[in-house]
Each structure stands twice: as structure tokens, then as C-alpha cells.
Amino acid sequence: MNTEKVVVVGNGMVGYKFCEKLLKKDSSRTFEITVIGEEPRPAYDRVHLSEYFTNPNPDHLTMAPVEWYIDNSIALHLGDPVQKIDPSKKCIYTLQGKTFAYDHLVIATGSAAFVPTIPGVEKDGIFVYRTIEDLDLIISYAKKSKIGAVIGGGLLGLEAGKALMDLGLETHVVEFAPRLMPRQLDDTGSETLQTKLESLGIKIHLNKNTSFFDGAASVTALQFADNSRLEVDMVVISAGIKPRDEVAAKAGLEIGPRGGIVVNDALQTSQQNIYAIGECALHRSMIYGLVAPGYEMAEVVADRLTGGQKSFSAFDMSTKLKLIGVDVASFGDAFGSAEGATKICFEHKEKGIYKRLNISADKKHVIGGILVGDAEQYNMLLQMVNNKMVLPEHPEDLILGARGEGKSSGGAGVMQLPDEAVVCSCESVTKGALCLAVEEGNTDIGAIKKCTKAGTGCGGCVPMVNDLIKETLKAQGKVIKNVLCEHFDYSRQELLDLVKVGGLKKYDEILNQHGKGDGCEICKPAVASILASVWNEVILKQDTIQDSNDRYLANLQKGGTYSVVPRIAGGEITPEKLIVIGEVAKKYNLYTKITGGQRIDLFGAPVHLLPDIWEELVNAGFESGHAYGKSLRTVKSCVGSTWCRFGVQDSVSFAIRVEDRYKGIRSPHKVKMGVSGCVRECAEAQAKDFGIIATEKGWNLYVCGNGGAKPQHALLFAQDIDEETCIRYIDLIMMFYIKTAEPLTRTATWLNKMEGGLDYLKQVVIQDSLGINEQLLREMQLLVDTYHCEWKEVVENPELRKRFKTFVNSTDSDAEMAFEPMREMKKPSNWTV
Amino acid sequence: MNSMTTTDILWHRVATVQDIPENGGACALIDGKQIAIYNFTRRGEWYATDNLCPHRQQMILSRGMIGDMQGEPKVACPFHKKTFSLKSGACLSGDNYEIKTYPIKVEDGLIYVGLNV
Ligand code: SRM
Ligand SMILES: Cc1cc2nc3c(=O)[nH]c(=O)nc-3n(C[C@H](O)[C@H](O)[C@H](O)COP(=O)(O)OP(=O)(O)OC[C@H]3O[C@@H](n4cnc5c(N)ncnc54)[C@H](O)[C@@H]3O)c2cc1C
Ligand code: SF4
Ligand code: FES
């Protein structure tokens, strides 16, 4: 069979998507695909580029790794821009001097940031925001800068502004127009957004025309046409995009008057066998600067090449701003410019909310609108516009939410969408296709993403897809709830109540009475955690239902050894105890490290030596530090008023008190706390599940923060309270958390999902709105009173001790364990695969 | 260690029933080879597999939690929770791994594992 050569110029989001789509349609492998990209790495998710600031690992953004191209026989040629296209010879030439012949050429060169010709623009410290390399430059320059400005107050400019702020700069956004996001927002929308952004610390300058960049080699100030000036250390220009049409232009392809490669509805350029897709293409005088229309273009060309007849038509430009910490969305005819259109507006200045709906002249349909401050209804409203759905009797409900008893807002509406409604516009997945996938048994978002690809692009449709899953299952008569796993049709909270009411203490008993099958690695630890939270018995009574670390009361390491972390409450330790740790480590040849939690970790203990090691530690007055448990870990403290010249309260003493109170208590996930002696916050308490910060009058209590993969600051729960009140509040919140959170949910996520959020939690705890406080306090006191050191239980119980063995039939140690020297200690040999 | 022969399988006596925790596992060393033994009390069944998890080549499966997936008995590796059928050794969590399973029997409270000769 004859193969045809398809060459793709540009390996960006759209170029990649084109390859993916063509492979899928080209089942007989008629095409031989070559991809040429200018950037040094394979296509990555530019839409989520800003996430690079928090996770500077480019792999995390990669659309598909290099192996994907190899596996699919795509010749990938990176780091080498195409310099010339010769349509008559059907060849392209690269900068490095390579030549590739094509039968079909697909140009997907995207766009570059548009840089206005302002004098001084070439100075150091002026950047654009488009590629990973741009971000690397920005990050490194920001280290020596204090003040940053973004030129451009549009979608991207605001995203860049947020990034500068996150890099710790005093941040200014400079916009030429009289309002922010001028293409998406009206005046009130812009004002609301501006107030919000200013409260986040971003300074906004409207109506500012930059006349030159001041400074010698590097920029030091922006000079505006109105003679005002802004001192800056660095500038990010985000003033729009410029299609990368230079190579196409040289090849004689038709280019629009203001740039862009002209294409017809089949996305052909003025040369029939040359296509242009994505941000470089000019379709009916329009450049689409969004990824969804680009993907649709990729679909059309892949379809045409494989014999289809699809064509590209005008595409919806609705958008939702992400990342900035303020909801902003604009959809359909945002300004209500259609003939006879009327509007409904809602504005709540104090809360920073503005919503606008534009209604058609016949009052039957929503035609567009704007949401600032709360864009929860965005997906649904967009669907109403796109599907011309008829307005409900009280259209204001759409932006105000259904009010009054028994009315539900949110979820249910999705089922009224027609089957053809496109829910995921990046991957063009319709409601019908999604419902079908759910009916076929893909009942969670992960499965749906895998089989339909919905939600894998910009991710904006995920909430709606979740609603669809829920509602489809409901429509099938399936009761939707959070169940533990295939063995228990109960949520953690329900099971906890059943365990408690039934007085159940054994996993098998619980499985017999309330579950089915033989259990698994999901429900066993979840039930173990429930049992520990309710009865607080020795967990090793049922060792085989404990998770990896809990089973051996130590953390499992590479190579199969364990680490030992004794409790060092509040980080305070005597020299004598330090010496004991050192001696134990030396005797058992353990690697020692100071942890991020203010204590010392001893690594590399084989399972059969754990009880001996614990015995020595216990005899010296140590206890288990529960580093292995979903339980209280550490209460980090700063030195506080005893020594510190700024301290206003004794944070170490309070931290030790708190740690002693809650140590060993099992919970849905681990719990960390911190106590700082003054506002300087050296204990990083606001990054903890419970953070306590000293004030002149007492303590401020912060709740539900965490570090980890998705850091979130704790929220202020109560101010200037005394120690007793503080403990009482922690008792209540922690017990409420233990009883109601899903398995493996940190307090931050628990609060994020709680309806009513912090205000609700305050009502429960401070006003006792549920009338359960007395019970919660009693339950917490039981856990405090039944504390035991788990290591000591093993050390003193020969039956339990016997279980710490490497082999049942031999006293040999594990010959497969391998170590290598590292500095003056050792480390396990690396995974071999 | 006692051994008995049936056809081409060599049975090795490795432990007593009490040595293996209920609904859990333990590791036996047979001729220098690590074999995981599981006492699936709930089903009244015994299983034996490699102790080596093929994912990161860790000698650990005997310390994994056991259970079932739609009736198929399985063990979950403590490291990254890949799960394997105790019957066939197939990976049940969607990867292309496999572990070996071995014949196992209990007579008079003693456990025997069969290895090919
Ligand atoms: C030892 C230590 C690193 C160090 O050498 O400093 C550590 C080691 C581990 N961390 Fe951590 N974390 C350690 C401090 C932290 C911190 C810093 C802190 O506590 O101040 C954080 C971020 C703060 C937070 O949790 O909010 C942290 C966030 C995590 C997370 C992410 C949690 C999240 O909610 O996103 C995990 C994963 C998890 O728990 O599921 C994790 C899981 C782990 C585990 C337990 C993985 C595991 O299950 O085996 C690591 C065990 C290593 C080992 O073999 O012992 N570790 N871990 C630190 C022990 C502190 C201690 O004394 O107990
Ligand atoms: C920070 C940021 C945030 C964004 N947020 C959103 C969002 O929220 N929603 C949304 O819909 N869109 C967003 N976008 C826009 C979206 O990223 C683009 O629409 C999309 O990347 C366009 O894809 P493309 O393939 O056409 O262009 P690109 O992704 O730019 O890819 C083009 C590729 O071609 C290469 N190239 C150019 N010329 C040549 C040549 N001569 N030879 C070889 N290779 C060449 C370029 O180096 C580039 O790698 C955002 C963009 C940025 C920068
Ligand atoms: S950050 Fe990752 S690698 Fe480091 S200790 Fe924590 S879990 Fe292990
Ligand atoms: S080593 Fe077993 S799952 Fe990774």
C-alpha cells in the first residue's frame, strides 16, 4: 500500500492534538507522520502553563511523552524551526538544514506574544509569557526584583499578574482600556473584579498608555503618556497575540491584513494541500486565541485527510478565568449587543459579586452574560446559550439560585440539556456521549476521562461532568452516595455510626453485618481507622487490616526496611535523650535525619529489629511518634516568649500540651499542628491543620490548612482566646472531622467540601447549632484518656512481638536487602526498574 | 525442613498454621527463595506466591493486605498498592505484571508449599 506523508509544522497543543486525532481515524495506517517543532520539548499544556510556578517540573505539563510518538511511529524532530516551505517542490527546510518532503502539510505554528513597539522595549527585565523558557526567565529575574508590572489587563495579563504576585513581587497591572478584560467584561464587571484584585494585593492602573520604558541597561520605570510614572524592577508584556505566519508568508500563502494564515472552512490555505490550524490560522477574519477552537480545527483536518467532510464554523469564545482566586466568566453575547436584548443584573458590592444575564428580545432565551465573584453557574448558563434552551419562569433564579425550601439549584439542571449539547468543548464530547459512557459503567470522573477524554483539556467542564455522572446514575435508580468500596455500600461517616451503635470491634464482624465479600486494601484500613477513632484499642490486635505503615508501626522504606520516629513533643528535647537516639542509631547502624517536623528519623531498620530498637527508646522515656499513622503527627513550635525577644506567649509549653493531648488519636488522614509565639509565625502554624498563633491577649486559632501537594493556608477561626477555649475548639473540630470526613481527606479538603464552609463550622462549634458538642467533647475525652504508646504494647507483649519476623521458617535476614554507602552513612540501593 | 515428593512437585514443609496470621501473610525462605504464604481464613483457603513485587522489585508481598475483587482473591503490595490475583498471579490493577503462584496444602496443622523439581 502507498503511504502518504503528512508533515506537521509546530508541536504545540493543536499540532499534538492533530496527531492524536489523525492516528485515531487512520486505522489502516495510510499516513506517515512527521512533526517538526521549534521548542526543545514535546508539546505541553500551555493553558496550564502558570502551574509551572508551583510545580516547576515541565513533565507535569507534557501532553504526551516522547515514547508516545515513538510507539505511534511518528517521527518527532524537536528544537529546530522550519525556515522555509517550498509548495512547488512540496518540501520544507529547517534551520539545521534538514529537508522533509510532504504530501500534506499542516501548519500549527501557533502565535507569539504581541510586543508593542514602545521605546525601550529591548531593555533587560522585560518579558513575555508564552513558553516554559519564558517562565524560567521570569522566575530567575524575579529573585532579584521587588516590583513587577504586567502590561495588559486581559485574560492572560491577569494570569501573569497572579504569577508575579505568587513570586512575591509587589504587582501592578497596567491596562490601556478604561476597564479590565475589556473584551469580556462591562464596566460594572470590571469594577467588581478590580476591587477583588486589589483586595488580593494586585494594583490596577487603567487608561494608561505606556510611552517608554525608562532605565539604562535594565528597565527601572514605566513612563505613561499622561506623564505619570511607575517604578518597576521587571515587566511582563501580555498585550495580545501575533500569529506565527512568517514562514507561511515567505512561501507565498495568503496572509490576512493584520496577520494570520488565511484558511477556508476546510482549513486549507491558499494552497490546497497545505492546512493551517490553531492560533496561526485566520478563519473568516478571526484568530481564535483559545484551545478549544484549535482542537476543533485539528478534528476537521484529521477528518478531511481520512476522507471525511467536516468543516469549521464560527466557534464560541466564552471563557472563564482560572487561577487568579476570583471567579470571572463571560459567555455568549456578553454585552447584550443583539437587537432588542434586555438584561438582568445582580450586584453585591460587599461580597464582590456581579452577575449579568442578557435575555433575547422575545424573552425566551439567555443569549450571554457576565459573572464576577461567583461563576458557579457558568457551565450551565453557557449550555443554555449554546443550546437555545427556553428560560425558566423566573430567569433571575439562574443567577440568584433557587430560593426557598425544598428547591434544589445546581446539579439537576444538567439533565435538561439536549443530548447534542457539547459539554467538553476541548474534546467535543456531548452530553449524550457522556451519559452513555456512564450507563456503560464508567461511573467516576477518572473512568470518564479515560474513555471519553472529556475534562482532559482545560478542565473547565469537570464540575458539570461530575453532575452528569451523578444525575445519570440517579436516573437509573441507583442511589448515589460516597461508598467506601465494592465491599461496603456505606460512606465512612455512616459506617462509623453503625460501628458505634452496634458496639462492633472486629473487622470481620463488621464485614459480615454490613458488607459483602472479603474486603480489600481500601476498606480494611478505613475500618481500622474507624475502629481506632471509636474505641482506641491496640491497633495490632487486628494487624492484617492495617495499612502498610500501621501494620508494623513504622514507615516502610525502599528495599523493605522501616524507619523509626520517636515523638519529640513540640520539638523540645534534652541532651540526654539526644544522646540515646544517637546511641541507638549507632548500635543498629541506622541512617539519621532531622525531619521537616522537628524530630529525628532513624531509617533502615529490618522488621525483626523494630521491637528491640523500640525497647531501647521506650526505656529511655521515648514514645512512638506515630509518623506512620493517619493520626496526629507533630505539633511544631517556635521557641516563643521564654527565649525569643519578640515572643508574646510561651509557644513551646502550649505546643507540648497540645501534642500530649492529641497524640496517638487516629483520624481520617494525618493531622498536623503548629504553635507560634508571635505574628512572625516561625512555626508556620498557618500551614497546618490546626495553627495557633500568640497574640498580646491570648491565642488566634487557625484551622484546616496544609502543605503538601496542594498547599492551602489555614483560616482564622477565633481570635484572642485563652488556652482552655482553644483546646475546647480543637477538641470539637477534630472530633467533628473524625466523625464526618471521607477516608484519606485532610482537614482542608474536608472544609472545602463542607456546605456553608467556615461559617457553618463556626456555628457548629461556637454556637453548638447541631446540639452535639457535649457528645463530641465526651468522645474526645475518651480518646485522650485511653492513649497508649503502641511501641510499648509490642515491646511488652511477647505474642505481638513474635509477629515482627522476616521469615516464618528461618532466622536469616533478608539477603535481598542491599545498601550503599552515602556520605558517612548508608542508603538503600535504588529501585532496579 | 521436611520434604516429600509427588510427581514432579517437591513439597516443602514451611510452618504451622498458627505461624501465619489470620487473613494475612508471612514469608517463607525455601532453598534461598522467598515465597509469600497467605492464610485466607475468611475463605478457608491457603495461597502461595512470589514474595517479589514485580513493580519495583521489592521483596514484600507477604506483608500486603489480602482481600477480593469481585470474588477474585488478591493481595495488595504495601508499596504502591498494585494488586495481584492469588489464584492466577495476574495483576488486577491494570498493569502488565504477573507473579508466580505455587501449590500449597495443609495437613495436620502443617503447611506445605510445592516447588517444581
Ligand atoms: C520524614 C519526612 C521528610 C523529612 O525527612 O523531613 C516525611 C516523610 C514522608 N512523608 Fe511527609 N514527611 C515529613 C514531613 C512532611 C511535611 C512537613 C511538615 O509536617 O511540616 C509535609 C507538608 C505539610 C503537610 O502535611 O501539610 C509532608 C507532606 C506529606 C504528604 C502530603 C500530604 C497532603 O495532604 O498533601 C504525604 C502523602 C500522604 O500523607 O498521603 C506525605 C507522606 C510521607 C511519607 C510518610 C510517605 C509514606 O507513606 O511512607 C514519607 C515517609 C518517609 C519515610 O520513609 O519515613 N508527606 N510531609 C517528614 C516527617 C516529619 C515528622 O517528623 O513526622
Ligand atoms: C499563559 C497562557 C494561558 C492560557 N490560558 C488559556 C485558557 O485558559 N483557555 C484557553 O482556551 N486557552 C488558553 N491559552 C491559549 C492556548 O494556550 C492556545 O490557544 C493554544 O496553545 C494554541 O495552540 P497552538 O498549537 O495553535 O499554538 P502553540 O501552543 O503556541 O504551539 C505552536 C508551536 O509551534 C512552534 N512553532 C512556531 N513556528 C514554528 C516553526 N517555524 N517551525 C517549527 N515550530 C514552530 C512554536 O514554538 C510552538 O511550540 C493560554 C495561553 C497562555 C500562554
Ligand atoms: S516529599 Fe516525597 S520524597 Fe520527600 S519524604 Fe515526602 S513523600 Fe518522601
Ligand atoms: S513495589 Fe509493589 S506496587 Fe510498587
DSSP A466-524: HHHHHHHHHHTTPPP---SBTTB-S-HHHHHHHHHHTT---HHHHHHHHB-TT--TTHH
Interface test with A, best of B11, B51, B65 (most A CBs within 10 A): B65
The DSSP secondary-structure symbol of A421 reads -
Report CA-CA distances (Å) from A415 to A386, A406, A422, A438, A756.
15, 19, 13, 13, 25
* Residue B57 alpha carbon, nearest atom of ligand 4: 1
Whether chain A has a CB inside 8 Å of the CB on B67: the answer is yes
Is the CA virtual torsion A489, A490, A492, A497 positive or negative?
Answer: negative
Pocket test for ligand 2, best of A8, A9, A13 (most atoms within 8 A of CB): A13
CA A370–ligand 4 middle distance (angstroms): 49
Considering only CA atoms, which residue is closest to atom 3 of ligand 4? Answer: B80
Contacts of A554 in chain B (CB under 8 A): none
Q: CA-to-CA distance for A533 and A537, rounded, in angstroms?
A: 9
- Closest partner residue to B67 (CB to CB) among A508, A521, A812 is A521
Average pLDDT over residues B22-49: 96
| Residue A466 one-letter amino acid | N
- Closest partner residue to B56 (CB to CB) among A523, A607, A831 is A831
Residue A313 burial by CB count (10 A; 0-12/13-18/19+): exposed, middle or buried? exposed
Q: CA-to-CA distance for A550 and A543, rounded, in angstroms?
A: 8
| Ligand at shortest distance from the CA of A674 | 1
- Closest partner residue to B68 (CB to CB) among A520, A812, A817 is A520
Question: Is A601 a pocket residue for ligand 1 (Cβ < 6 Å)?
Answer: yes
- All CATH 3.50.50.60 domain ranges of chain A, comma separated, are 4-112+243-305, 115-239
Residues in a beta bridge with A675: A637, A692
Contacts of A517 in chain B (CB under 8 A): 67-68, 70-71
Whether chain A has a CB inside 8 Å of the CB on B65: the answer is yes
* Residue A563 alpha carbon, nearest atom of ligand 1: 55
Whether chain B has a CB inside 8 Å of the CB on A543: the answer is yes
The three-state secondary structure class of B111 is strand
The three-state secondary structure class of A409 is coil
Taking a C-beta distance cutoff of 8 angstroms, is the pair A477, A439 a contact? no
Taking a C-beta distance cutoff of 8 angstroms, is the pair A423, A459 a contact? no
Contacts of B57 in chain A (CB under 8 A): 831-833
CATH of A115-239, one of 3.40.50.300, 3.40.190.10, 3.30.420.40, 3.50.50.60: 3.50.50.60
Contacts of B60 in chain A (CB under 8 A): 556, 560
Q: Which pLDDT value is given to residue A672?
A: 98
Contact state of A543 with B24 under an 8 Å Cβ cutoff? yes
Q: Which pLDDT value is given to residue A752?
A: 87
| Ligand at shortest distance from the CA of A521 | 4
Per the listing, cell 504586567 goes with A150
Ligand 4 binding residues, C-beta < 6 A: B 53, 55-56, 58, 77, 79-80, 82
- Within a 10 A sphere around the Cβ of A701, how many other Cβ atoms? 24
| Residue A569 one-letter amino acid | A
Contact state of A815 with B68 under an 8 Å Cβ cutoff? no
Q: CA-to-CA distance for A620 and A202, rounded, in angstroms?
A: 54
Which tens digits make up the pLDDT trace of B53-112?
A: 999 999 999 999 999 999 999 999 999 999 999 999 999 987 789 999 999 999 999 999
Q: Please tell me the distance in Å from A150's CA to the nearest CA on chain B.
A: 44
- All CATH 3.30.413.10 domain ranges of chain A, comma separated, are 555-785
Q: Please tell me the distance in Å from B20's CA to the nearest CA on chain A.
A: 8
Superfamily designation of domain A555-785: Sulfite Reductase Hemoprotein, domain 1 (3.30.413.10)
Contact state of A524 with B65 under an 8 Å Cβ cutoff? yes
Q: Which residues contact A552 (CB under 8 A, 6 or more apart)?
A: A562, A607, A610, A628, A804, B63
Pocket test for ligand 4, best of B50, B82, B83, B92 (most atoms within 8 A of CB): B82
Q: If you measure CA to CA, which chain A residue comes closest to B39? A: A544
- Closest partner residue to B28 (CB to CB) among A552, A556, A808 is A808
Q: Which pLDDT value is given to residue A833?
A: 60
A210-214 sheet: strands from edge to edge: A210-214, A221-224, A229-231
Torsion angle, CA of A364/A365/A371/A376, rounded to 10 degrees? 100
Chunked mean pLDDT (size 10), chain A, 833 residues: 90 96 90 96 93 84 93 95 96 96 98 94 95 94 96 92 92 95 91 90 94 94 95 95 96 95 96 97 93 93 94 80 75 88 85 88 88 85 83 73 43 72 84 89 82 79 82 75 85 91 94 95 95 93 95 95 97 97 97 96 96 97 96 97 95 98 96 97 97 96 92 95 97 96 92 87 92 94 96 95 92 87 90 68
What beta strand segments (E) does A217-341 contain? 221-224, 229-231, 234-237, 241-243, 261-263, 274-276, 281-283, 319-321, 328-332
Q: CA-to-CA distance for A414 and B114, rounded, in angstroms?
A: 58
CA A120–ligand 2 middle distance (angstroms): 27
CA A633–ligand 3 middle distance (angstroms): 15
- A635 is written with which cell numbers? 505539633
- Closest partner residue to A556 (CB to CB) among B1, B29, B78 is B78
**Chain centroid to CA A825:** 37
Whether chain A has a CB inside 8 Å of the CB on B4: the answer is no
Contact state of A809 with B67 under an 8 Å Cβ cutoff? no
- Closest partner residue to A543 (CB to CB) among B21, B81, B83 is B21
The DSSP secondary-structure symbol of A706 reads B
CATH of A4-112+243-305, one of 3.40.50.720, 3.50.50.60, 3.40.50.620, 2.40.128.50: 3.50.50.60
Pocket test for ligand 4, best of B63, B77, B99 (most atoms within 8 A of CB): B77
Report CA-CA distances (Å) from A313 to A263, A286, A295, A310, A603.
12, 11, 13, 10, 62
Q: CA-to-CA distance for B60 and A750, rounded, in angstroms?
A: 33
Q: Domains in chain B, start-ordered, CATH in brackets?
A: 3-116 (2.102.10.10)
